[in-house]
Amino acid sequence: MKDYQGRTAVITGAGSGFGLEVARIAASRGMNLVLCDVQADALDAAAAEFADHPVLARRVDVAKADQMEALAAAVQERFGAPHFVFNNAGVGSGGLIWENSLADWEWVLGVNLMGVVHGVRLFTPMMLAAAEKDPAWQGHIVNTASMAGMLNPPNMGVYNVSKHAVVSLSETLHQDLALVSDQVRCSVLCPYFVPTGITQSHRNRPGELGAGKPTRSQMISQAMTDKAVGSGKLTAADVARMVFDAMDAQRFYIFSHPQALKGVQTRLEDVMQLRNPTDPFQDKPEIGARLRESLRGV
């Protein structure tokens, strides 16, 4: 998709990070904006920034089916079928996998996975119907996963599971769309460590899924993630440009840090050679040693 003027973009997690930067590019290309976020003040600020553009701003918890269904109906009524859907809202959580509570699983999978599921199940039929009516109509869906959806870094299992599921969903969506249409395409975004607000996503955690007292492993995971994300050299704006470059080129995989694919290759070689998973810290053993010592209380 290369023609954006007058088209419509639906963006979840639009109040900050990748969502906000993608909205800025979409606006610069003349798109109508549908901005969704669960954080009201961030959403209001984003909507105010784009006051000169056609904007529909809604506070939405993407994990809630009824809220996403109401959003889809509002988009259809205001703009018709969207041309670009960015299923981007996400939250982070870590710790040893058996220490994640049921509430942790429900929160992370609800936002990271079911938010994408709702976006796909609601907007894809609208886009396909528009394409069927107009042979020139084009649309594109981009789902935000993570390099954690291609790898399995330790001490962040619930997040890994959610993002692997998004990669699988997206790859299947790509194949399914190819069966029925050449006019609607999709991509999966797999960023690595990029400074965004995801490390503080607990600020928007619903009260009914409240977290208990953090375990040692969860505090360690939070500290390591804060440091890694905060030291990222690429910005959210850089990644947003990659999203549009991928849509322009009809490219499925979007990797912010292609050098991280070395780890993906190693993982696939583990599978093909039926060997146990390779130590993720083999190139930086001092980090693995510190993590083990911290978790064991040495």
Do residues 201 and 273 share a domain?
no
Q: Are residues 177 and 82 in the same domain?
A: yes
Looking at the fold, whether 224 and 112 belong to one and the same domain comes out as: yes
Residue that wins the pLDDT comparison between 156 and 219: 156
169 Cβ contact partners less than 8 Å away, ≥ 6 residues apart = 113, 116, 117, 120, 143
Residue 140 lies in a domain: yes
Q: Does any domain span residue 280?
A: yes
pLDDT in tens, 147-175: 999 999 999 999 999 999 999 999 999 99
Domain annotation covers residue 104: yes
Query: What CATH code is carried by the domain that includes residue 75?
Result: 3.40.50.720
In a domain, 92, yes or no: yes
Same domain, 133 and 275: no
Domain assignment present for residue 1? The answer is no
Q: Are residues 58 and 151 in the same domain?
A: yes
Task: Indicate if the pLDDT at residue 298 is higher than 60.
Answer: no
288 with 216, same domain? no
Q: Which of 90, 65, 87, 78 minimizes the C-alpha distance to 33?
A: 78
Query: Does the annotation mark 253 as catalytic?
Result: no
Residue 3 lies in a domain: no
User: Which pLDDT band holds residue 218 (cuts at 50, 70, 90)?
Assistant: confident
The rounded mean pLDDT for the chain is 92
Q: How many domains does the chain have?
A: 2
Neighbours of 244 (CB within 10 A): 20
Clarify whether residues 83 and 188 are in a common domain.
yes
Q: Is residue 282 part of a domain?
A: yes
Are 190 and 291 members of one domain? no
What would the mean pLDDT of 237-261 be, rounded to a whole number? Answer: 96
pLDDT at 11: 98
pLDDT score of 82: 98
Q: Are residues 136 and 271 in the same domain?
A: no
What is the arithmetic mean of pLDDT over 79-87? 98
pLDDT tens, position by position, 17-36:
999 999 999 999 999 999 99
Parent domain of 288:
264-298
The reply to whether 19 falls in a domain is yes
Q: Which of 4, 159, 192, 253 is catalytic?
A: 159
Average pLDDT over every residue of 196-213: 70
Check pLDDT > 70 for residue 199. no
pLDDT computed for residue 198 by the predictor:
61
CA angle 268, 144, 62 (to 5 degrees): 130
Residues 245 and 270 in one domain: no
Given a cut of 70, is residue 117 above it in pLDDT?
Answer: yes
pLDDT in tens, 92-115: 889 999 999 999 999 999 999 999
Same domain, 87 and 167: yes
Q: What's the average model confidence in pLDDT over 179-187?
A: 97
Q: Do residues 118 and 65 make contact, with C-beta atoms less than 8 angstroms apart?
A: yes
Tell me the mean pLDDT in the region 69-92. Answer: 97
Whether the CB-CB separation of 22 and 240 falls below 8 Å is answered with: yes
Predicted TM-score (pTM) above 0.75: yes
Q: Residues 167, 274: one domain?
A: no
